[in-house]
């Protein structure tokens, strides 16, 4: 008798063993179909149409690439908002990493006993409410009544319009973003440093490497994957910056729109002006910008011997 | 240098540099400054919440607590038409439901990806990771349209917590932890003993993954509690649905107008931030190590 040919009797035990994993992973796919895939396709569809939710389903007008042309043209705020976003991103992002890396290095090498305490304190800004913090910073920035101008006054400086001067607005917003995320990056780098084995350093010491050489030839290369990860998060996050400028400057982005980010502009277009097609087109353009910057970051990190 | 080769080669966890105390002063000064700058906005919001509105902006600024907590609470009740506790509850409700459902669905899926072999597993998992590449911003408009035109959930709290119940980040985090922390033999043994598949998850897996549940729990709670843009888009702005961030926006938006009740606003700021501080301080070590351990693997 062939064992194989024998029909297996149906048993609940075997049935549920086979299908349990599919059942367990299914919620994600069901939710993604409803709240992810379908909406994404719909949003791509809308990007080529003129439509407001008030027009009702089905009453959209095909406009081809008009939405994209409008966004990239000179009459709209989209380009300006994109430039604002990148500029604020650079102003907050570069200092974040320039400060976080040395801080992590100091905590790791010189303050080992207090690592937990320092990382908890530095991590605090990351978990707090952006709206609440923006209100606190808005009061610090207040032109006539804020602490910053008070302290400046004590030093004999003229009051500064932190949130009123279009030239200063990007810096004021970037400072809040910097404050919120520098600790998060420090903690990331710290955990990257902790993952590097002491043996490597000891071997280098035996070979006569000095402190600087160890940092340049061991720490930095081995920290590459973490730096890549941290950079990626910073890029993706800064390109979607919304809450801080929205709260500090109102939805228009302050005088001259100097603090209007792309996320704010898309939000206004979609939910204030109800121009869903145009807003969808802009959100895809922003997606493209984020994608391009991420690829650029990827390229910079995978070049010359980074074997991640 | 102050160290000798012998000291450096000394056995032990780490060769300690014998630095003179004064050499460490700049390091400590730098670290204390960094910590000070991290903490000072929190400190100020508590100070401001304890002074009468008129004194929030006095010069020189108050640097120590006042005695107007109760008065500012009354002020807050006045400017929110008595809705502040209700707003707190709305935020708490959304954050808690979000957290519990996320923990359940993500751990279940993470467990399946970590401990089962099934057809299509690799492709399904790759797909889930792939969805992490979509920036959340791109989803704002289409998800509003689904909520508004298809489901009619705009204005309801579930519009905020249902879509994220089973999310890619949570599943990934759970899978990484379960793969490294649970031996497959354990699952097999439970199966031999006649446990059902869901029974194994509930009785064997869940109790053993508490640490990572704490991590994902805090992250989800904080994210849901702070969800400002989502609440704004889904219009949780009626008295019975308004969350704290929206209320803050309503009271404190538009920056610095002196004529509003700043003591009351600072009271609301404090109320918004306190639960976050409590949740985080209770589990900070766990959260930080859980978040960073999964950061660059795979």
Instruction: Choose among A131, A107, A255, A200: nearest CA to B276.
Output: A131
| Contact residues, chain B, for A119 at CB < 8 Å | 288
pLDDT in tens, A247-297: 999 888 887 888 999 999 999 999 998 989 999 999 999 999 999 999 999
* Among the partner residues A25, A130, A228, nearest to B124 by beta-carbon distance: A25
pLDDT in tens, B89-116: 999 999 999 999 999 999 999 999 999 9
Residues of chain B with pLDDT under 50: 1-13, 15, 255-256, 298
- What's the CA gap between B289 and A172, in Å, rounded? 32
Count of other CB atoms within 10 angstroms of residue A35: 21
* A291 assigned to some structural domain: yes
pLDDT for the residue numbered A2 = 45
Contact B280 A131 (CB under 8 A): no
- Per-residue DSSP letters for B54-121? HHHT-SSPP-S--S-HHHHHHHHHHHTTT-HHHHHHHHHHHHHHHHHHHHHHHHHHHHHHHH---TTH
Residues of chain A with pLDDT under 70: 1-9, 303-308
* Shortest alpha-carbon distance between residue A188 and chain B (Å): 6
pLDDT for the residue numbered A261 = 93
Contact A163 B255 (CB under 8 A): yes
Candidates B141, B205, B225, B291: best to mutate against A (most CBs of A within 10 A) is B141
- What's the CA gap between A303 and B115, in Å, rounded? 36
* Shortest alpha-carbon distance between residue B270 and chain A (Å): 8
Question: Do A239 and A112 belong to one domain?
Answer: yes
The answer, yes or no, to whether the previous bond of B60 is cis (omega within 30 of 0) is yes
Question: Do A45 and A145 belong to one domain?
Answer: no
Question: Do A133 and A282 belong to one domain?
Answer: yes
What 3-state DSSP class applies to A49? strand
* A214 assigned to some structural domain: yes
Question: Do A55 and A37 belong to one domain?
Answer: yes
* Shortest alpha-carbon distance between residue B298 and chain A (Å): 10
Q: At what angle do helices A115-127 and B21-49 cross, to 10 degrees?
A: 30
| Contact residues, chain A, for B7 at CB < 8 Å | none
Contact between residue B143 and residue B136 where contact means Cβ atoms under 8 Å apart: no
Count of other CB atoms within 10 angstroms of residue A136: 21
What's A246's domain CATH number? Answer: 1.10.3720.10
Give the bridge partners for A50, in sequence order: A61
Q: Which residues contact residue A123 at a Cβ distance below 8 angstroms, ignoring those fewer than 6 apart? A: A183, A184, A187, B280, B284, B288
Contact between residue A124 and residue A183 where contact means Cβ atoms under 8 Å apart: yes
* Among the partner residues B38, B143, B285, nearest to A124 by beta-carbon distance: B38
Question: Do A113 and A34 belong to one domain?
Answer: no
Question: Do A152 and A245 belong to one domain?
Answer: yes
What 3-state DSSP class applies to A61? strand
Which domain range does residue A160 map to? 69-303
Q: How close are the terminal C-alpha atoms of chain B, in Å?
A: 41
Give chain A's domain count: 2
Gyration radius from chain A CA atoms:
26
Contact A229 B295 (CB under 8 A): yes
Give the residue from chain B lying closest to A237, CA to CA: B135
pLDDT for the residue numbered B254 = 55
Candidates B217, B235, B255, B282: best to mutate against A (most CBs of A within 10 A) is B255
What 3-state DSSP class applies to A295? helix
| Contact residues, chain B, for A283 at CB < 8 Å | 137-138, 140-141
| CATH among 3.30.470.20, 3.20.20.210, 3.50.50.60, 1.10.3720.10 for B83-261 | 1.10.3720.10
Question: Do A182 and A266 belong to one domain?
Answer: yes
Contact B137 A283 (CB under 8 A): yes
What 3-state DSSP class applies to A50? strand
Question: Do A91 and A164 belong to one domain?
Answer: yes
What is the value of ipTM here, to two decimals?
0.86
Candidates B84, B145, B199: best to mutate against A (most CBs of A within 10 A) is B145
* A186 assigned to some structural domain: yes
Question: Do A178 and A76 belong to one domain?
Answer: yes
- What's the CA gap between A260 and A71, in Å, rounded? 15
* A3 assigned to some structural domain: no
Q: Does B280 touch chain A (CB under 8 A)?
A: yes
Q: Which residues contact residue A174 at a Cβ distance below 8 angstroms, ignoring those fewer than 6 apart? A: A88, A91, A92
Q: How close are the terminal C-alpha atoms of chain A, in Å?
A: 55
- Per-residue DSSP letters for A224-261? HHHHHHHHHHHHHHHHT--HHHHHHHTTTTSGGGTT--
Instruction: Tell the residue number behind the tokens 């200092």, with chain if given.
Output: A95
Contact A111 B276 (CB under 8 A): no
């Amino acid at each position: 008798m062939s064992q194989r040919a024998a029909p297996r009797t149906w048993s609940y035990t075997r049935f549920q063993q086979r299908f349990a994993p599919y059942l367990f992973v299914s919620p994600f796919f069901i939710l993604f179909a409803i709240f992810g895939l379908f909406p994404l396709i719909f949003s791509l569809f809308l990007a080529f149409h003129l439509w407001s939710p008030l027009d009702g389903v089905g009453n959209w007008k095909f406009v081809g690439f008009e939405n994209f042309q409008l966004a990239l043209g000179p009459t709209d705020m989209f380009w300006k908002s994109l430039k604002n976003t990148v500029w604020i991103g650079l102003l907050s992002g570069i200092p974040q990493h320039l400060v976080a890396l040395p801080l992590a290095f100091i905590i790791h090498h010189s303050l080992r006993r207090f690592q937990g305490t320092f990382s908890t304190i530095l991590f605090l800004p990351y978990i707090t409410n952006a709206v609440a913090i923006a209100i606190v910073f808005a009061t610090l920035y207040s032109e006539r009544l804020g602490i910053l101008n008070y302290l400046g006054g004590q030093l004999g400086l003229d009051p500064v319009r932190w949130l009123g001067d279009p030239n200063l607005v990007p810096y004021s917003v970037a400072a809040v973003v910097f404050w919120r995320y520098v600790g998060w990056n420090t903690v990331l780098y710290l955990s990257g440093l902790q993952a590097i084995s002491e043996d490597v350093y000891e071997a280098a010491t035996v070979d006569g490497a000095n402190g600087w050489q160890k940092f340049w030839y061991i720490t930095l290369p081995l920290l590459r994957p973490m730096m890549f990860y941290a950079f990626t998060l910073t890029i993706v996050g800064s390109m979607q910056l919304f809450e801080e400028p929205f709260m500090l400057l109102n939805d228009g982005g302050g005088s001259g729109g100097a603090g209007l980010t792309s996320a704010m502009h898309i939000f206004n277009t979609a939910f204030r002006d109800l121009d869903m097609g145009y807003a969808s087109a802009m959100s895809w353009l922003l997606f493209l910008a984020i994608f391009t910057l991420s690829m650029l970051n990827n390229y910079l990190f995978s070049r010359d011997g980074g074997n991640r | 240098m102050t160290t000798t080769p012998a000291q450096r080669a000394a056995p032990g966890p780490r060769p300690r540099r014998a630095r003179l105390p004064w050499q460490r002063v700049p390091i400590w000064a730098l670290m204390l400054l960094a910590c000070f700058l991290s903490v000072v906005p929190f400190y100020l919001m508590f100070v401001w919440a304890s002074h009468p509105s008129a004194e929030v902006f006095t010069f020189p600024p108050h640097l120590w607590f006042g005695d107007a907590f109760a008065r500012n609470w009354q002020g807050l009740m006045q400017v929110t038409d008595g809705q502040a506790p209700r707003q707190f509850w709305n935020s708490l409700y959304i954050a808690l439901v979000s957290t519990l459902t996320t923990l359940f669905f993500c751990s279940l899926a993470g467990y399946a990806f970590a401990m089962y072999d099934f057809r299509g597993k690799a492709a399904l998992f790759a797909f889930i990771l792939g969805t992490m590449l979509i920036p959340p911003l791109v989803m704002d408009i289409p998800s509003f349209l689904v909520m508004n035109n298809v489901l009619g959930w705009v204005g309801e709290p579930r519009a905020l917590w249902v879509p994220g119940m089973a999310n890619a980040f949570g599943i990934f985090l759970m899978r990484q932890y379960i793969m490294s922390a649970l031996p497959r033999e354990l699952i097999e043994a439970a199966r031999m003993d006649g446990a059902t598949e869901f029974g194994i998850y509930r009785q064997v897996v869940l109790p053993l993954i508490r640490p990572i549940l704490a991590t994902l729990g805090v992250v989800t709670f904080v994210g849901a509690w702070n969800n400002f843009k989502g609440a704004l888009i889904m219009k949780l702005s009626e008295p019975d649905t308004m969350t704290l961030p929206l209320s803050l926006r309503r009271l404190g938006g538009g920056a610095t107008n002196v004529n509003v009740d700043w003591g009351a606003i600072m009271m609301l700021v404090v109320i918004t931030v306190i639960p976050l501080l409590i949740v985080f301080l209770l589990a900070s070590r766990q959260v930080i190590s859980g978040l960073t351990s999964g950061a660059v693997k795979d």
